[in-house]
Every structure is written in C-alpha cells, then in structure tokens.
Amino acid sequence: MKFIVNSDKSFDRACADLEDAVQAHKFGVLHVHDLQATLRNKGLDLDNACRVYEVCNPHKAKTVLEDDMSMNMALPCRISVWSEQGQTRIGMISPQQLLALLSESPALAAVAAEVEQTSRKIIEQAAA
C-alpha cells in the first residue's frame, strides 16, 4: 500500500526536485504541510524533517469527482518527503489501493491507475 523510495539527496534538494517533477508531469502542488515546523509551533520537537505535499492533476480530479463526489475525501493525492535515520525518503499511499477500498467503480480504478503510474514517476524522478 506504501510506495517509498530512498534518495541520496539532501532533504531540501529532494523537496525542490519533487516540486519540479510535479510540474513536469502536469500536476500542481496545492499545499505543503511542514510537519516539523507545525509541531515546533505547537511546542513539540520532531527530530525528523517532514513535508507533505498535496498534489493534484485537475483533469483527473474532475473525472473522479464527476464519477463519485464523495471521493473528495480521498483527494488530493499526497506525496511526502522525510528524513529518517539520516536517509531522505519520498513516498505515497497507493492511489489504486486507496480508491479500491472506497469504490468499486471501474472508471475510478482506471483513473487511479493512471495517477499512480504518474505519481511513481514523479517520486522516482525527484529521488534520482
């Protein structure tokens, strides 16, 4: 259910490269959650850097929502970059497996497969 790639890049370089890869594949970054900074602002320390990117291809999102508006709860897709034990990692939850848990629609399964294929390319490109 998880797709995670290790990278030899620094955390910040991997984040910048992820943003570039998202745009190169005609997706957009809707928001970035910096979990380490958010927790720090709440008075809590998190040793590992972690940014969660909400990414979306508007055409794919529209197709999903037109098929089943309740799928808005599963959108947008999230790709995370984090550090763990000195290693930079980039990963996501499988869109195909997630949507399969929520819907039996063949049309949604097809969209999820396309989104997953592109998202894997984005992650691999950012990690390389």
* HSE (side-chain half, CA atoms, 13 Å) at 53: 26
- CATH of the domain spanning 2-127, picked from 3.30.70.3270, 3.30.465.10, 3.30.70.20, 3.30.310.70: 3.30.310.70
What pTM was estimated for this model as a whole?
Answer: 0.94
Where are the chain's structural domains? 2-127
């098929």: which residue's tokens? 67
What share of the chain has pLDDT > 70, as a percent?
A: 100
Mean pLDDT of the chain: 96
pLDDT of residue 76: 96
Phi, psi of 55 (to 5 degrees): -120, 155
Q: What is the mean pLDDT of each successive set of 10 residues along the chain, which is 128 residues long? A: 98 98 97 97 96 97 95 96 96 95 94 97 98
